[in-house]
């Protein structure tokens, strides 16, 4: 149910802004729901590649990925605070200010193949590729609600 402040907020904005906010809301809900599975995939990739890739390289990738996931948690939390207030302009401004995050998230997942390709046994590499492709496929699926976000990712 739309609260009074949300209804008043909606009345001040164009239909295009409202549609964009709704699309971005769908993307943010997907981000929120996929935080724990993303962490599980990170853990699985780390365990699968451990011992076959240089420890320093694995540590660097893990630092990047875990750092991006911490930023993700803060990003989603900041969005949820603005979303609860119901101000469409505030939500859109927040998401536009943080659009750099989508590229960083894609980069964090995109470095995994550079780490494991050709360095782990073939059956392990297949599992690693499946995990990375799964994360990418799921990401593109829930980001498809907003074409701009999908392109940045």
Neighbours of 148 (CB within 10 A): 15
The pTM assigned to this predicted structure is 0.76
pLDDT at 2: 41
Triad 12, 18, 23: Cα angle to 5°: 160
pLDDT-based confidence at residue 143 (cuts at 50, 70, 90): low
**Cα gap 128→49, rounded to integer Å:** 8
pLDDT at residue 117 tops 60 = yes
More confidently predicted of 124 and 33? 124
């Amino acid at each position: 149910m739309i609260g009074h402040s949300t209804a008043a907020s909606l009345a001040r904005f164009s239909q295009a802004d409202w549609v964009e906010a709704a699309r971005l809301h769908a993307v943010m809900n997907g981000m929120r729901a996929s935080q724990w599975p993303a962490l599980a995939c990170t853990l699985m990739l780390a365990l699968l590649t451990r011992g076959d890739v240089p420890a320093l390289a694995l540590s660097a990738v893990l630092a990047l990925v875990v750092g991006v996931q911490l930023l993700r948690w803060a990003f989603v939390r900041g969005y949820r605070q603005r979303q609860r207030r119901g101000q469409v302009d505030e939500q859109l401004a927040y998401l536009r200010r943080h659009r750099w995050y989508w590229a960083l998230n894609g980069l964090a997942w995109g470095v995994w193949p550079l780490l494991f390709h050709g360095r782990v046994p073939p059956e392990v590499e297949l599992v690693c590729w499946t995990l990375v492709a799964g994360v990418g496929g799921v990401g593109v699926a829930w980001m498809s609600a907003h074409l701009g976000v999908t392109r940045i990712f």
